[in-house]
């Protein structure tokens, strides 16, 4: 076992083995989820970018824009999904940025950002979807102050209903809507407490 998380999921799988089949998702009316009215946009990405900014997230289009943003923020050392690293390094804007493809838990505080693949995104809410099976390193996505989700255009879903229908059988799915935030203490909104303080979604 690599860590306690692996041990926990291993025990869950063992407990589920005797069951004849996985319980089906409950039936629900796809018309039930209703999002607050929003402006109309010509492209789905434009709606997504608008919604992400409303929750203090950062939408970027293209690796050039991402590299320039990281350099301007002084974030020149971070983790990158091994499946994405060649594509990212090929962008000239990443010159001078060091990317590691293995997330070293012992050096967790050194990583200024983490770049992982988004399993999807929801236009009407500005949400990034991270599935356990497709996220190369969970800590790489959640531990650094800045998380960058690389989003492919075909994975941008219109609505929450579409996203629910696409859940599949992954054992763990995270929906991140902007930076981590809480208002538990005296109703004061604080970002970056339980996860990244900066959530970037980069359309590539």
Q: What is the pLDDT of residues 87-118, one digit of tens each?
A: 999 999 999 999 999 999 999 999 999 999 99
Q: Is residue 25 part of a domain?
A: no
How many structural domains is the chain composed of? 1
Residue 65 contacts residue 201 (beta carbons within 8 Å)? no
> What average pLDDT is seen over the chain?
91
Q: Is residue 83 part of a domain?
A: yes
Distance of alpha carbon 34 from alpha carbon 73, whole angstroms: 36
Pick 188 or 50 by higher pLDDT: 50
Distance of alpha carbon 15 from alpha carbon 162, whole angstroms: 30
Q: Is residue 35 part of a domain?
A: no
Q: Is residue 77 part of a domain?
A: yes
pLDDT tens for 122-159 read: 999 999 999 998 999 999 999 999 999 999 999 999 99
Is the pLDDT at 1 greater than 80? The verdict is: no
Q: Enter the tokens of residue 28.
A: 């629900």
Is the pLDDT at 49 greater than 50? The verdict is: yes
CATH assignment of the domain containing 83: 3.40.50.10420
> Binning pLDDT at 50, 70 and 90, where does residue 2 land?
low
Average pLDDT for 37-64: 94
Which structural domain range is residue 89 located in? 41-203
Q: Is residue 32 part of a domain?
A: no
Whole-number pLDDT of residue 181: 83
Q: Is residue 21 part of a domain?
A: no
Phi, psi torsion values for 182, nearest 5 degrees: -150, 150
Q: Is residue 51 part of a domain?
A: yes
Q: Is residue 121 part of a domain?
A: yes
């Amino acid at each position: 076992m690599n860590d306690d998380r692996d041990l926990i999921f291993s025990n869950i799988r063992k407990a589920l083995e005797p069951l004849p089949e996985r319980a089906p998702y409950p039936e629900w009316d796809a018309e039930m989820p209703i999002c607050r009215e929003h402006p109309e946009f010509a492209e789905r990405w434009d709606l997504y970018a608008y919604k992400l900014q409303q929750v203090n997230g950062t939408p970027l289009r293209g690796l050039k824009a991402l590299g320039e943003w990281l350099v301007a923020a002084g974030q020149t050392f971070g983790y990158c999904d091994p499946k994405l690293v060649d594509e990212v390094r090929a962008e000239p804007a990443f010159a001078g940025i060091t990317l590691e493809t293995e997330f070293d838990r012992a050096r967790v505080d050194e990583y200024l950002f983490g770049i992982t693949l988004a399993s999807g995104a929801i236009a009407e809410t500005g949400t990034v979807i991270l599935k356990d099976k497709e996220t190369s390193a969970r800590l790489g996505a959640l531990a650094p102050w800045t998380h960058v989700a690389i989003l492919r255009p075909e994975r941008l879903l219109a609505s929450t209903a579409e996203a629910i229908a696409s859940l599949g059988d992954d054992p763990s799915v995270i929906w991140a809507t902007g930076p981590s935030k809480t208002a538990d203490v005296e109703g004061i909104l604080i970002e970056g407490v339980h996860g990244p303080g900066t959530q970037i979604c980069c359309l590539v």
